[in-house]
């Protein structure tokens, strides 16, 4: 009997125990290699690009380099998503491993408990990892000639709690009784390929974005929602009416449904409330997890860490709590 991939030995190439057994020097070497793969871990000055730098550690032993070209100091994380890091490098590797090992998402409270961090620090760290994952989706195009892509939408956020007494309850299907915070997550997903999510007010508002992100010649599959009618003018579209079947005559949106299943479980099981400014980040995280689900966990960790080391300091979270909460 064939074993599910995730249960095989090939799927488990890195454990948290291994990360914690790493010495400081090993963790440092790992990050150096991820940051400067071109020079096999030899430091490259972020200011002038010189490869001539000498080791100039801080008094506490944390790694720092001084460029012989321009004389500036830099660290392994200068100019990356983990710039001005406060924790030892091994803790970041552990955080990424914990984050990747969870298949639906990681609760930020659980992360703060796992690593002994404050909730705020765990919140920022998790969002930085989402930012790293999103880096792969920049400018991504889905499909191509002979390829099949699926389009679907799911609604998230803006939950309105029903009143206790029946006579006080309102019809939450009516627009005037909604919070206005409910948003549509749109997914465009290539079968056996990559996914791309986005957040819009409605399905209709997403049409020009969808058209711009699906390559010409792609066959698009969508459900019966009238919002998708406009796609027929641009692509060959196959429709599936979910009231009749989930898959009929080769038409289905099951890859897209699989994505929403993961995002919905992340919402219900881990985050409880995903809405507003960060909804897109959670949507991107779920897309990354979907696309990388068959990668061994060690490769996933390496990929996220590599992305974090290539990405500039966080746009969302640099000094986040200083800006948002005075204490």
Name the residues that contact Zn ion, by CB under 5 A: 45, 47-48, 50, 67, 69-70
Shortest distance (Å) from residue 225 CB to Zn ion: 55
* Among the listed residues 181, 180, 226, the one whose alpha carbon sits nearest the alpha carbon of residue 203: 226
Strand order of the β-sheet with 148-156 is: 195-200, 183-190, 148-156, 219-223, 236-240
Shortest distance (Å) from residue 81 CB to Zn ion: 21
Shortest distance (Å) from residue 69 CB to Zn ion: 4
Residue among 48 and 56 whose Cβ is closer to Zn ion = 48
Residue among 67 and 129 whose Cβ is closer to Zn ion = 67
Q: How far apart are the first and last CA of the chain?
A: 57
Cβ neighbour number for residue 166 with a 10 Å cutoff: 7
Strand partners, 107: none
Q: Where are the alpha helices (DSSP H) in the chain?
A: 16-21, 24-35, 89-101, 108-115, 119-135, 207-213, 254-266, 279-291, 297-310, 320-324
Shortest distance (Å) from residue 51 CB to Zn ion: 10
Residue among 45 and 307 whose Cβ is closer to Zn ion = 45
Residue among 45 and 188 whose Cβ is closer to Zn ion = 45
116 Rama class: left (phi>0) / alpha (psi -120 to 50) / beta: left
Residue among 70 and 160 whose Cβ is closer to Zn ion = 70
85 Rama class: left (phi>0) / alpha (psi -120 to 50) / beta: beta
Shortest distance (Å) from residue 54 CB to Zn ion: 12
């Amino acid at each position: 009997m064939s074993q599910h991939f995730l249960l095989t030995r090939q799927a488990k190439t890195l454990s948290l125990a291994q990360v914690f057994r790493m010495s400081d020097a090993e963790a440092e070497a790992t990050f150096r290699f991820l940051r400067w793969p071109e020079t096999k871990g030899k430091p490259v000055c972020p200011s002038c690009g010189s490869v001539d730098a000498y080791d100039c550690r801080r008094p506490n032993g944390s790694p720092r380099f001084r460029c012989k070209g321009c004389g500036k100091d830099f660290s392994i994380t200068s100019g990356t998503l983990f710039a001005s890091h406060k924790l030892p490098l091994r803790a970041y590797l552990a955080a990424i491993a914990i984050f990747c090992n969870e298949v639906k998402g990681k609760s930020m409270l659980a992360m703060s408990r796992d690593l002994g961090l404050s909730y705020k620090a765990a919140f920022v760290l998790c969002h930085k990892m989402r930012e790293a994952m999103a880096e792969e989706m920049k400018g991504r195009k889905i499909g191509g000639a002979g390829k099949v892509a699926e389009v679907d939408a799911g609604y998230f956020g803006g939950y309105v709690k029903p009143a206790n007494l029946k006579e006080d309850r309102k019809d939450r299907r009516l627009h005037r009784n909604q919070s206005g915070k409910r948003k549509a997550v749109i997914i465009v997903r290539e079968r056996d390929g990559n996914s791309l999510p986005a957040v819009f007010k409605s399905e209709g508002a997403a049409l020009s974005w969808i058209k711009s992100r699906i390559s010409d010649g792609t066959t698009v599959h969508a459900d019966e929602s009238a919002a998708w009618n406009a796609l027929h003018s641009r692509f060959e579209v196959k429709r599936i009416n979910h009231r009749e079947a989930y898959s009929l005559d080769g038409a289905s949106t099951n890859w897209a449904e699989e994505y929403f299943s993961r995002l919905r479980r992340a919402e219900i099981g881990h985050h409880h409330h995903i809405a507003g400014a960060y909804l897109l980040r959670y949507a991107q995280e779920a897309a990354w997890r979907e696309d990388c689900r068959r990668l061994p966990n060690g490769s996933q960790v390496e990929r996220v860490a590599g992305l974090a080391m290539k990405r500039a300091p966080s746009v969302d979270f640099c000094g986040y709590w200083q800006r948002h909460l005075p204490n």
